[in-house]
Structure formats: structure tokens, C-alpha cells
């Protein structure tokens, strides 16, 4: 019974959202606002269940890891943003998190991205075959794309020609991305239509 009611609710909310396709209307606005409110509540419960309880309260009170009072303090002073007179305290928490992110980012981007990607662009150009052609195209494509995005030098002469070729590669990449984006969006639509047809209408016909 609960499942039946749930499927009706889900179908109803789905159709409320789709009513926007005809025109903006109160049903759509209701569904949209409900979604935001429910998601906010969900995040809050998650924060308690998967951050505060297992990572803070239990280690402090069960395992006596009192040093965790320090990040708890930093977390609480993050909330001082609500009070203008003491909101400067929240900068300490932000500085801590930003510092960690920046520090990890420096080594991560070099070791995890820049070096492996550069290494993989240095490809063999031996023999007169299709693999060599592909490798040349890859090297050329990476270099000309980087030239296109280098705006500190005017795109004139040979540099300008390189930028134009880079633009060609970029257009191919964006075209491919557009094709995949269409695929993604249609997939989401298929998922919802599948639910409406087989879970909701199928339920009405007892399937």
C-alpha cells in the first residue's frame, strides 16, 4: 500500500515538473520549491548522521579523542558568519580549508595531471602508418589548442595560424561534447518515461 501511494506521489510530482513544458504554472513552482526544501532537510540529516556523529561525537566521547575539539571549534566558528560582529572568526576556518585544498592541489595537479598528460603527448613518430598519423595529430592538436588559449601574445603570423588550427580541434571537441550531452539528456528522459510507463501506468493495469 505504501509503495502504491509512493508511486502515485512520484508520478504526480514528475507530471507537475513536466507541466512546465506547457508553461510556467503553480504546480511546477510547488514541485520546485518542495524539491529545494526536501533536499535541504536531507543535507542536514546527512551532516548529522555522517559527519558530526561518526567523525566527531563518537571519537570524542567513545574513544576519548579530545583533540577533535579543535576541528569542532573551527567548524563552529564557521557558523559565526551569521553574526556580523564576530564573522571575522569564520575566516580562520575558511583559511584552514582553503590552505589544505591549495596545498593538495599543488602536488596533485602536477603529479596527477600535468606530468602524466605531457608524458602521454610525447608519442612515437616512426614509420609511415596510421598510428604515426594519429600520434602526429594528437601532438599537433594539443600544441595548437594551447596556442589558442595563450592570450598573452597576439594571434598573428605563424602563432595566429596555430591558433586557428587549434580552434578547429576545439570545435571538433565541442561538437563531440554536444553529441554526448544530447545523449545524456535523452537518457534522463528515457529513465523518467520508463518509470511513468512501466512503474506507474503498469501498476494501474496490474502489471
Partner 1 sequence: MKIFEKMAHIDRRYIYILIAIVVIVPLLIKPKLPIIPTKPVKDIFDYVENLPQGSNILISIDYDAASMPEQQPFLEALLRQCFRNKLKPVMIVQWQLGAPLGTQGLEKIAKECNAIYGIDYINLGYRPGYVAQMVGIGREIRDYFSVDYKNVSVDSFPIMKNIHNYNDFALLLGLEAGATYLAWVEYAGGRFKQKIALSLNAVSAPDAYYFYQSKQIIGLVGGMKGSAEYEVLENKPDLAVAGMASQSYSHIVIILFIIFGNIAFFIEKNRKRKEGGK
Partner 2 sequence: MLKGKNIPLAITFIVGIIMIVSFFIPHRPFGDIEQISLRWYSIIAGFTMVLGVDSLLGLHFRKIKRKEENWIHSIFLIAGFVMVFIAGVWGTIQYGSAFDERSFFTYIYNYFIVPLQATMFSLLAFFVASASYRAFRARNRDAALLLITAVIVMLGRVPIGEVISPYLPKFTDWIMEVPQMAAKRGIGLGIALGSLGVAIRIILGIERSYLS
- Region 26-85 residues binding partner 2, contact defined as CB under 8 A: 26, 29-52, 55-56, 67-68, 70-72, 74-76, 78-79, 81-82
> Measuring CA to CA, how many Å separate 40 from each of 30, 35, 45, 66?
16, 9, 9, 30
Are 72 and 56 in contact, with CB atoms under 8 Å apart? yes
Instruction: Give the N- to C-terminal CA distance of the chain in Å, as an integer.
Output: 15
Task: State the nearest-atom distance from the C-beta of 157 to partner 2, in Å.
Answer: 20
Nearer to partner 2, 96 or 198 (CB): 96
Q: Binding to partner 1 (CB under 8 A): which residues in 141-200?
A: 173, 176-177, 180-184, 186-191, 193-194, 197
Distance CA 116, CA 103 (A): 19
Going residue by residue from 101 to 140, which x/- string records binding to partner 2, judged by CB under 8 A? xxxxxxx-xx--xx--xx--x------------x--xxxx
Helices 26-47, 2-18: crossing angle, 10 deg rounding? 120
Q: Binding to partner 1 (CB under 8 A): which residues in 67-126?
A: 100-101, 104-105, 107-109, 111-113, 116-117, 119-120
HSE value, Cβ hemisphere, 13 Å, CA-based, for 157: 3
Q: Binding to partner 1 (CB under 8 A): which residues in 49-68?
A: 49-51, 53-55, 58-59
Nearer to partner 1, 42 or 66 (CB): 42
Binding site for partner 1 (CB under 8 A): 21-22, 39, 42-43, 46-47, 49-51, 53-55, 58-59, 100-101, 104-105, 107-109, 111-113, 116-117, 119-120, 138, 173, 176-177, 180-184, 186-191, 193-194, 197
Amino acid at each position: 500500500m505504501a509503495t502504491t501511494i509512493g508511486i502515485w506521489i512520484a508520478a504526480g510530482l514528475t507530471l507537475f515538473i513536466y507541466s512546465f513544458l506547457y508553461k510556467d504554472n503553480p504546480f511546477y513552482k510547488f514541485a520546485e520549491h518542495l524539491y529545494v526544501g526536501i533536499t535541504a532537510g536531507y543535507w542536514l540529516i546527512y551532516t548529522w548522521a555522517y559527519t558530526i556523529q561518526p567523525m566527531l561525537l563518537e571519537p570524542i566521547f567513545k574513544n576519548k579523542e579530545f583533540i577533535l575539539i579543535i576541528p569542532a571549534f573551527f567548524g563552529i566558528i564557521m557558523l559565526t558568519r551569521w553574526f556580523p560582529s564576530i564573522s571575522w572568526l569564520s575566516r580562520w576556518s575558511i583559511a584552514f580549508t582553503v590552505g589544505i585544498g591549495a596545498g593538495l592541489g599543488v602536488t596533485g595537479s602536477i603529479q596527477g595531471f600535468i606530468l602524466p598528460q605531457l608524458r602521454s603527448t610525447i608519442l612515437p613518430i616512426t614509420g609511415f602508418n596510421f598510428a604515426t598519423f594519429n600520434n602526429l595529430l594528437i601532438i599537433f592538436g594539443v600544441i595548437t589548442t594551447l596556442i589558442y588559449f595563450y592570450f598573452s601574445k597576439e594571434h598573428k603570423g605563424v602563432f595566429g595560424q596555430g591558433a586557428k588550427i587549434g580552434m578547429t580541434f576545439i570545435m571538433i571537441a565541442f561538437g563531440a561534447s554536444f553529441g554526448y550531452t544530447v545523449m545524456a539528456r535523452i537518457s534522463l528522459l528515457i529513465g523518467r518515461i520508463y518509470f511513468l510507463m512501466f512503474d506507474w501506468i503498469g501498476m494501474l493495469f496490474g502489471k
